[in-house]
Amino acid sequence: ETGVTQTPRHLVMGMTNKKSLKCEQHLGHNAMYWYKQSAKKPLELMFVYSLEERVENNSVPSRFSPECPNSSHLFLHLHTLQPEDSALYLCASSHGLAGGSEETQYFGPGTRLLVL
């Protein structure tokens, strides 16, 4: 596998379910990101991890819980979601060492989530 991979690609869940999204990057990067892409809205940054530490939490509800066990893996744990949380969830990674604004982020294919 190369680049950034995400599983599952599609997920349907009820409001009382608990599920997790997984992201893996094969680029040797040190920073990873979760974004939410809803219909007719710009991409929204949710979380940023740098060297496995969370450095950004963009006012995301607590029903979304990220986890970064190592620099290659990032999870998004979901529980008691609402229908308005239905969206495409995109993971990205970047070099991250310099923490500079010049870094290019590389994205995975996303998980399409539908909350019923």
Partner 1 sequence: AQKVTQAQTEISVVEKEDVTLDCVYETRDTTYYLFWYKQPPSGELVFLIRRNSFDEQNEISGRYSWNFQKSTSSFNFTITASQVVDSAVYFCALTQGAQKLVFGQGTRLTINP
Based on CB atoms, which residue is closest to partner 1, 14 or 99?
A: 99
- 27, 43, 114, 116: which one binds partner 1 (CB under 8 A): 43
52 binds partner 1 (CB under 8 A): no
105 binds partner 1 (CB under 8 A): yes
- 31, 76, 81, 87: which one binds partner 1 (CB under 8 A): 31
Q: Which stretch binds partner 1 (CB under 8 A): 11-19, 43-51, 63-71, 72-80?
A: 43-51
Q: Write down the least CB distance from residue 65 to partner 1, Å.
A: 20
Based on CB atoms, which residue is closest to partner 1, 42 or 83?
A: 42
28 binds partner 1 (CB under 8 A): no
DSSP string, the chain: --SEEEE-SEEEE-TT-EEEEEEEE-S--SEEEEEEE-TTS--EEEEEEETTEEEEE-S--TTEEEEEEETTEEEEEEES--GGG-EEEEEEEE--SS--TTPPPEE---EEEEE-
- The CA distance from 33 to 107, in Å, is 9
